[in-house]
Structure 1
Amino acid sequence: MTAKKPIILAVDDDSQVLAAIVRDLRQEFSQDYRIVRASSGPEALATIQELRSKEEALALIVADQRMPELEGVELLTAARELFPDAKRVLLTAYADTEAAVRAINSARLDHYLMKPWDPPENLLYPTLHDLLTAWQMAHKPKFRGVRLIGFQWSPLSHELKDFLSGYLVGYQWLDFETSTEAQTMVKMKGFSASDLPLVITADGSAVANPTKAALAQHLGITTRPLQEMYDVVVIGAGPSGLAAAVYGASEGLKTLIIERQTPGGQAGTSSRIENYLGFPTGLSGADLAFRAWSQAVRLGAEFLAPQEVTELCVQDGYKVLTLGDGSKISTKAVVLTTGVSYRTLDVPGMDRLSGAGVYYGAARTEARSCDEQDVYIVGGGNSAGQAAMYLATYARRVFIVIRGANLAASMSAYLIEQIRTTPNIELLPFSQIKEVCGQDRLEAVIIDRNGTVEKRPARALFVFIGAKPSTEWICNQVICDSKGYLLTGRDLVADPRYATVWKQDREPYLLETCVPGIFAAGDSRAGAMARVASAVGEGSMAIKFVHEYLDE
């Protein structure tokens, strides 16, 4: 979106004088400013109020002194309440010079100019250029993107932050309790504190207390399928799902990818992935996900989010998917890339404070609010290590709470070395979180350190204690192992249940489940390696087997 030019407002009740000042202003300043006119004081004041409501930038007001309904000094004084930083210049005749000089002190005008100002090159432009240069140096342009106004400790506000960040939608967060700008904007839009969180888009439209689906529609993200039949539907937009979508679309398959949250899965929340091939300095999970999403869409894949598949059934060989809104989609093949979700920490206070200081995963959107505070991380895997390194940039101290003696058994060596050399990260071995405390937000954690229980103040707690497959909705259709992971290929053949369900003349393909034409890839598949590179590889391999299945 192109930023609007700042405004110069010219005011005079004499039409000839007004035409002359507007002409001269346009000749010199129209390249960088919009020139707006008003033919009376009340009209000018109404214009200024309208500019304020639209959050326009008013740089300069040039107003005549002798106007019958509202004199220039009165207008400029009133304007200062609405635009305190705008430069204010009084146009005056020789007889009013003394009043103009007094107004510079009493009304805090910036300058006065005598009429006539001919030639403008000598008597008008130099003064205005100086004033506009001073205004530009002090001016902070208004943010023109999406704004999210809410309460810092609101779980819904946190969810919306993560949603916007996950789709790489640039937004400005405003805390209603601490920002007078936020309070003014909420009132101007006709809402109150009970309507928060409030999302205001770049065009000025607002939606109060939105669901993620409503926000997606508001932002133009597709939430409904464009077709009734597809060659392949990919369920889940983690690295494996995005890879499947890229290869499916690039190889001519009519491809749909469905994601219930945001692209990238757990990898998408990673602050920095440093062991992915081809990126020697690393990249964030959100960046990787957005690149892959953009690539899939460019190649012809259709992306549906946030949308959830609630049921899958087979009819005459076709797979029929039921979505969360009740609509149905038919497809010839399915690739399940549903990934995993974080395991919850079962201690007192966790459910009550989730999203209000307690977070599962990296919660990158909350990192800046941890400035100069103590934060705690539970878990010793790579995700925990990456989060610790990221949070250490902002937090005063980062404590990693682990049950074991060290990180060697569960974290990559490069991360262990980085943590060791980061002075504000401290490892707490042989430790467990016993309780989280606070009223409306997290205030403290109670830790058992090898038998010694202590209560410590905490700004945030980030939990990384393993994951479980997101397969609850499909386990009644396909065979899973005892932990809920999807069995495919040779692992499926080795399962005792295989012989009772597989009725094909061939054996299942390497990534095929017990239902022909339904494949699985990524972290939710039994035996998968929990690495981004392997997930991408499996997603692309799945499309190879989809082709073989469709060619039968």
Structure 2
Amino acid sequence: MRRPTIVTVDDDPDVSAAISRDLHSQYGSEYRVVAAASGEQALATLARLALRDQPVALIVADQRMPAMTGIELLRQAETHAPGAKKLLLTAYADTNVAIAAINDIGLDYYLLKPWDPPQERLFPAIDGLLTDWRHANPDRAGGLRVVGHRWSVRSHEVKTFLDRNHVPYLWFEIDRDAEARRLVELAGATTDHLPLVLVPDGPNLRSPSPLDLADALRIRTRAEQPLYDVCIVGGGPAGLAAAVYAASEGLSTVVVEREAPGGQASQSAAIENYLGFPKGLTGSDLTHRAVAQVSRFGAEMVLAREVVGIEPRGPVLGVRLAGSGEVEARSVVVATGVSYRRLAAPGLDGLIGRGVYYGANAADAAQCEGDEVFVVGAANSAGQAALNLARYAKRVTLLVRGGALEDSMSNYLVERIVATANIEVALRSEVVGCGGDTHLESLTVADRDSGARREVPASWLFIFIGAAPRTEWLGEAVARDPAGFIVTGQDLTSPAYAARWALPRPPMALETSLPGVFAAGDVRLESMKRVASAVGDGAMSIALVHRFLG
């Protein structure tokens, strides 16, 4: 990638020189630093960079400038540099204005002046902003290429795996791109072999499984040690938090994840109520940061491997993997989370992966540009997805079984949905049928009160309903309630489950009916089903693991 640009804007020559000097010294080897003395001059600079197709990574603007305030400049800068991160330099008296700008213009960060010493106050903030920008704008030159069908189940699986594992790639649609057809011919393949994944330094992959992809990309798919202190099953927020605390406290730790790190949270376009991030952050960003922490402390991550069973083996526990292989550990944390419940509607199952999807990656929105999109659900995940999809779709219809969004969705999301012109909310509505040959083409929507039905054209349906725990692999080894959620702690002493606990000591708070096995996050009975509570569960589980290991 050409060197991205950092633009600084301040009308005070001394302050402008100081910020430029500090940024040059820290980031000059990777970024161009361009200074502007006014908002007008900065806008002209941004227009010139846009004309040259030069990427702008960060705009640092002072708030108190006479002709144009920093916030006014950053609002107008969206025209020329829509993806740039925005940092406002402000005085203490203007903090309320800066906080309001987080909602008004999507301000990423504000910093009080003076920022000395920059190593403590300026650089850490900018490091985070530039890391996020780099993550959102990877250099794809010479990288992975994927050729496939827009409405192919396997193509969607491949793209989802790559997106969720933060692997940059270029997508070529076989029915739209001449280059796609050329690549298939060069690879000696046919359309029956799609999706075709062209790895720069490895063999071409024809319709690969997630495990094939992981192996080709040198993503770890096998545990390296014969025995661990703790094996964490599931790499969502609870599992990643458990891994950070376990590894940082000296426990040999392995995380086994069947798909990619982050769980359902990684697919969220915005998590806005997570403590410490006033602007919010994407699920992908949160996952990226958590995985970096896990790696920093030395925990292993085994990806694209599904766990199919667990069994006590004297002083250790055996965790069996699908196909072949296993992991042995002195303790286990189950953090497999939940999946969306299936929607029962005629014609729907045959269209899954071909216009019908359970959940949605933030990256899915761009492919819906100009189309009619429907979202089923009324929880926060459905609301965030609707807002993200509305950035590209012609119209998004949110289908809600209940009578009010406020009954199940956070107020801040309800307000934003109501204020978005191309989102329509259909209350007391449900999908009762799907139509289409090669992909979704229509939906039948019923009014739950009158029973009236209407057929509407639709290319995309994203479903966010209920929570089904991923616990079937536990079999009879671990007590679960009728819905499949894992029973832990005091709940094991109730008459319904008391017979499942065999030790003279009482079970610990997150301990399951199998001693040494703990449950954390959404998979646990009576859990909060929030990212923050899942992280708390993960941290708490390791404190209990320490106690169990003695």
TM-score class normalised by the smaller sequence? 0.7 to 0.9
Q: Is the 8 A contact 2:492 2:501 kept in 1?
A: no
Matched with 1:197 is 195
Q: SS at 1:202's partner residue?
A: coil
Q: Is the 8 A contact 1:161 1:365 kept in 2?
A: no
Judge which range, 296-305 or 202-211, deviates more.
Answer: 202-211
Once the two structures are TM-superposed, the CA of residue 173 in structure 1 deviates from its matched residue by 1.0
Pairing partner for 1:413 from 399, 407, 411 = 411
Matched with 2:459 is 459
User: What pairs up with 1:327-476 in 2 under 5 angstroms?
Assistant: 327-449=325-447, 450-476=450-476
TM-score (norm 2): 0.73
Once the two structures are TM-superposed, the CA of residue 293 in structure 1 deviates from its matched residue by 1.2
| In structure 2, distance between residues paired with 1:205 and 1:2 | 29
Judge which range, 415-424 or 260-269, deviates more.
Answer: 260-269
Matched with 1:292 is 290
Q: How far does the alpha carbon of each residue in 1:412-445 deviate from its partner, in whole angstroms, 9 at most, with x for none?
A: 0000000010000000111111111100000111
| In structure 2, distance between residues paired with 1:381 and 1:475 | 30
| In structure 2, distance between residues paired with 1:282 and 1:515 | 38
Matched with 1:537 is 536
Q: Is the 8 A contact 2:140 2:169 kept in 1?
A: no
| In structure 1, distance between residues paired with 2:201 and 2:478 | 47
Q: In structure 2, give the amino acid aligned to 1:291.
A: R
Q: How far does the alpha carbon of each residue in 1:155-212 deviate from its partner, in whole angstroms, 9 at most, with x for none?
A: 0000111100001111111101110011111111211111110111233742111011
Once the two structures are TM-superposed, the CA of residue 142 in structure 1 deviates from its matched residue by 8.3
Q: How far does the alpha carbon of each residue in 1:278-316 deviate from its partner, in whole angstroms, 9 at most, with x for none?
A: 111111112111211121011110000110111110011
| In structure 2, distance between residues paired with 1:428 and 1:502 | 47
Q: In structure 2, give the amino acid aligned to 1:435.
A: G
Q: In structure 2, give the amino acid aligned to 1:418.
A: R
Matched with 1:230 is 228
Larger radius of gyration between Structure 1 and Structure 2:
1
Q: How many residues align?
A: 413
Q: In structure 1, give the amino acid aligned to 2:236.
A: G
| In structure 2, distance between residues paired with 1:285 and 1:522 | 16
Pairing partner for 1:163 from 161, 164, 175 = 161
Q: How far does the alpha carbon of each residue in 1:109-168 deviate from its partner, in whole angstroms, 9 at most, with x for none?
A: xxxxxxxxxxxxxxxxxxxxxxxxxxxxxxxx9832111110000000001111000011
Matched with 2:242 is 244
1:152 maps to 2:150: yes
Matched with 1:486 is 486
Q: How far does the alpha carbon of each residue in 1:314-353 deviate from its partner, in whole angstroms, 9 at most, with x for none?
A: 0112101111122122110000001001101110111110
Matched with 2:527 is 528
Matched with 2:261 is 263
Q: Is the 8 A contact 2:211 2:304 kept in 1?
A: yes
Q: SS at 1:386's partner residue?
A: helix
Gaps of 5+ in 1: 4-140
Q: In structure 2, give the amino acid aligned to 1:438.
A: G
Q: SS at 1:366's partner residue?
A: helix
Q: In structure 1, give the amino acid aligned to 2:159.
A: K
- Percent identity at matched positions? 45
| In structure 2, distance between residues paired with 1:366 and 1:187 | 28
| In structure 1, distance between residues paired with 2:266 and 2:306 | 18
TM-score (norm 1): 0.73
Once the two structures are TM-superposed, the CA of residue 233 in structure 1 deviates from its matched residue by 0.1
1:175 maps to 2:173: yes
| In structure 2, distance between residues paired with 1:310 and 1:253 | 24
User: What pairs up with 1:482-521 in 2 under 5 angstroms?
Assistant: 482-498=482-498, 500-521=499-520
Q: How far does the alpha carbon of each residue in 1:40-61 deviate from its partner, in whole angstroms, 9 at most, with x for none?
A: xxxxxxxxxxxxxxxxxxxxxx
Q: Is the 8 A contact 2:147 2:195 kept in 1?
A: yes
Q: In structure 2, give the amino acid aligned to 1:326.
A: S
Q: How far does the alpha carbon of each residue in 1:388-431 deviate from its partner, in whole angstroms, 9 at most, with x for none?
A: 00000000100001122210110000000000100000001111
| In structure 1, distance between residues paired with 2:467 and 2:140 | 42
Once the two structures are TM-superposed, the CA of residue 363 in structure 1 deviates from its matched residue by 3.6
Q: Is the 8 A contact 2:140 2:168 kept in 1?
A: no
| In structure 1, distance between residues paired with 2:386 and 2:326 | 42
Q: Is the 8 A contact 1:248 1:543 kept in 2?
A: yes
| In structure 1, distance between residues paired with 2:428 and 2:327 | 50
Q: Is the 8 A contact 1:311 1:474 kept in 2?
A: yes
Q: SS at 1:451's partner residue?
A: coil
Once the two structures are TM-superposed, the CA of residue 379 in structure 1 deviates from its matched residue by 0.8
Q: Is the 8 A contact 1:475 1:484 kept in 2?
A: no
Q: Is the 8 A contact 1:379 1:401 kept in 2?
A: yes
Q: SS at 1:523's partner residue?
A: helix
| In structure 2, distance between residues paired with 1:321 and 1:231 | 13
| In structure 1, distance between residues paired with 2:500 and 2:490 | 15
Q: In structure 2, give the amino acid aligned to 1:540.
A: A
| In structure 2, distance between residues paired with 1:2 and 1:144 | 14
Q: Is the 8 A contact 1:234 1:255 kept in 2?
A: yes
Q: SS at 1:266's partner residue?
A: helix
Residues 327, 213 of structure 1: CA spacing in aligned structure 2 closer, same or farther, 3 A cutoff? same
| In structure 2, distance between residues paired with 1:548 and 1:431 | 50
Q: Is the 8 A contact 1:236 1:260 kept in 2?
A: yes
